[in-house]
Structure 1
């Protein structure tokens, strides 16, 4: 950079920039990926707050303004993904490999594993709901609803959104892990 009013060095026309230093690739990748992962983790926090709100309103007898459906076991397991997400946020400040690995493994086991298991185990209920709806026998069964919407459909919408958030965050975490590990190995040599 030059100061305003300064002159260019004699003998150069500005095309001699090829010898200058460039930003290392792992720094560039890290800088581009961190904000994306932060957004995904914050989206996860927003959806975790919804589940936490449901758990609290169901278990606290003072809050009974909205008829809250009974929580499922998978919600109690899935809500623990808040801890790996906090590790993921903390790891990005100083490229902390151990915390990012905790985020990755916690998201795979508690987050994605729980959600995929829930989707697979409740798939028969979804097909039964579809069959009853197409045969117009849904009024006889009276499905569980929340604010007028079928609860099963709302849960599947939530689960599909969470699969996408977890999958993208795992992809971004994997990119950061490879970038940071490459930096650590070149730094040690």
Structure 2
């Protein structure tokens, strides 16, 4: 961009500098939020790997008769239905990564809503179903009917640590996706149209 009194770019009278600044800011926002979202997806996959190991390890043991010394030692409780749904929370990640290179609004919008249905909603259901168990554990930590890991550590505490992490992953993910959608969406009005509107108002 030239200086105020320097040579002017061809095809412009110099009055569109605000529009150029807005476009430049959108590119900066897009680049920043893309970076943040990719870093968040890396953390998300780390948590996903842990749950995949639990759920698919259980399926391999119960359905296919495979034996694992590690799973036997951990003695984890049976997976809840919401766990199977949350295992699909990689879907919005894949869609968002597909949308990023060319700033595609529609796939990122799908990823935004998928983040809720495959991530936030299962966690809300899991939180609601596990909350009575947490209250029961707080009231009586020695209860024998509360599932444990290796017959010592209460599984409900593990779940609430998981919920704390998962909710932050999804909320921040949706926050970044929302701002990317906003940055990529075409402007509702251009400077030329705004000038036309001002001219029409003056003529009236």
TM-score w.r.t. the length of structure 1 is 0.79
Secondary structure of residue in 2 paired with 1:176 = helix
> Runs of 5+ in structure 2 lacking a partner?
7-13, 194-204
Question: How many positions carry a matched residue from both structures?
Answer: 168
Residue 77 (str. 1) matches residue 80 (str. 2): no
Q: Secondary structure at the match of 2:87?
A: helix
Alpha-carbon distance, 1:64 to partner: 2.1
What is aligned with 2:119?
111
**CA 95–63 in structure 1, closer or farther in 2 if over 3 Å, else same:** farther
CA shift in 2, pair 1:162/1:16, >3 Å: farther
Match of 2:182 in 1: 178
The residue that corresponds to 1:48 in the other structure is 48
Q: Structure 1: give runs of 5+ residues left out of the alignment.
A: 1-13
* SS of equivalent to 2:185: helix
Q: CA deviation digits over 1:108-136, x for unaligned, max 9?
A: 11210110121123211111111113xxx
Instruction: Confirm whether residue 100 of structure 1 aligns to residue 118 of structure 2.
Output: no
Alpha-carbon distance in structure 2 between the residues aligned to 1:126 and 1:164 = 20
Match for residue 59 of structure 2? Answer: 59
**Which residue does the alignment assign to 1:32?**
32
Distance 1:102 1:72, change over 3 A: same
Q: Tell me, in whole angstroms, the C-alpha distance in 1 between the residues paired with 2:177 and 2:146.
A: 39
Q: Which is further off, 100-109 or 140-149?
A: 140-149
How has the CA–CA distance of structure 1 residues 24 and 183 changed in structure 2, closer, same or farther, with 3 Å as cutoff?
farther
Query: 2-side partners of 1:144 and 1:154: how far apart?
Result: 11
Q: What is the RMSD computed on CA atoms of the aligned residues?
A: 2.4
Runs of 4 or more above 6 Å deviation: 14-17
TM superposition shift of 1:169:
0.5
The question of whether the paired residues in 1 share the 8 Å contact of 2:52 and 2:87 is answered with yes
User: In the superposition, relative to structure 1, how do residues 178 and 75 fare at CA in structure 2: closer, same or farther (>3 Å)?
Assistant: same
Give the alignment partner of residue 164 of structure 2, picking from 138, 141, 160.
160
Give TM-score scaled by structure 2 length: 0.74
Shift of 1:70: 1.2
Distance 1:84 1:144, change over 3 A: same
